[in-house]
Amino acid sequence: MSAVIPLNQDQILTELAPELQAVLQQIYIFPSLDSTNTWLLEQPQACFCVCLAEEQTAGRGRRGRVWQSPNMGNIYFSLRWCFQQVPANYACLGLVVGVAVAEALAAYGLQGQMLKWPNDIYYQGQKLGGILLQTAQPLQQVVIGIGLNTGMQRDTMTHIEQAWCDLSEILQESIDRNRLIAAILQQLIPALQAFPQFNMHTFKQQWQRWDWLVDQAVRIEAGQEILQGKACGLDEQGQLQVAFADGSCRAFSSAEVSVRQVS
Ligand code: BTN
């Protein structure tokens, strides 16, 4: 793969529609940070600012996990978004961000990406990226973190526990991260602007396009419970619905979901 193109604020802004450029206050780019999410959480004045880093020394994943963040041309992106008040459907925000990222990848030229509830970005059963939302103070502010493998090298990354993939490997070319980040902002900003008027009925139709788990046999870890069933889409609160062999159906608001191999 050819050399990594450095992150560049002007190149990101050039790709962005003028009305969306006007929304962003600042794009901060660091060679190295502990975590772009942590940094933005510590900047109370950073509403509508983006933070990017070439590497993270303490990248954070969901459920307290580490997000491996080497300096290899990956995307470590955070945006601090400030709603006027805490939105009624806050629990669905992560799903909405996931759809925005999936659509941005489509605009970039990828086909076949899927979302694994609640908001992992998958490609052919392997993790391409992840999303971490952290509420800030005051509570109507949120830091939206997105990690995407766009330059990860397989032989050097033996310590990632789950199956992963990389966009440059999939597309067989170097990734123009500035263009991809602009594509993410192009989807994400309107989605966040519209989020206070969120409508679950409309959103479910968008979600269905990207739902990787639907109709798959899944293994659910919810607290101490381990259950096996079949995923069957979102309920009205954005929870994952699972149907069980005894005919019952349950919804999970937060759970570890793995796809069970059906033999
Ligand atoms: C997951 O566990 O799937 C979520 C991963 C989120 C990683 C991104 S990288 C940019 C931002 N900064 C962090 O420390 N984490 C998020």
Residue pLDDT tens, the chain, 263 long: 568 889 999 999 999 999 999 999 999 999 999 999 999 999 999 999 999 999 999 999 998 999 999 999 999 999 999 999 999 999 999 999 999 999 999 999 999 999 999 989 999 999 999 999 999 999 999 999 999 999 998 877 667 778 899 999 999 999 999 999 999 999 999 999 999 999 999 999 999 999 999 999 999 988 888 899 999 999 999 999 999 999 999 999 876 777 665 54
Neighbours of 153 (CB within 10 A): 14
Catalytic residue among 63, 80, 127, 154: 127
Query: Which residue, among 124, 118, 131, 178, has the nearest Cα to 150 in the 3D structure?
Result: 178
65 is catalytic: no
Q: Which of 179, 219, 250, 260 is catalytic?
A: 260
User: Ligand 1 centroid to 67 CA: how many Å?
Assistant: 6
| Residue 132 burial (CB count, 10 A) | 23
Q: Assign 86 to helix, strand or coil.
A: coil
80 CA to centre of ligand 1 in angstroms: 14
Rg (alpha carbons) of the chain, rounded to whole number: 18
Residue in 150, 197, 258, 190 with CA at minimum distance from that of residue 17: 190
* 131-154 pLDDT, tens digit each: 999 999 999 999 999 999 999 988
Q: Is 63 a catalytic residue?
A: no
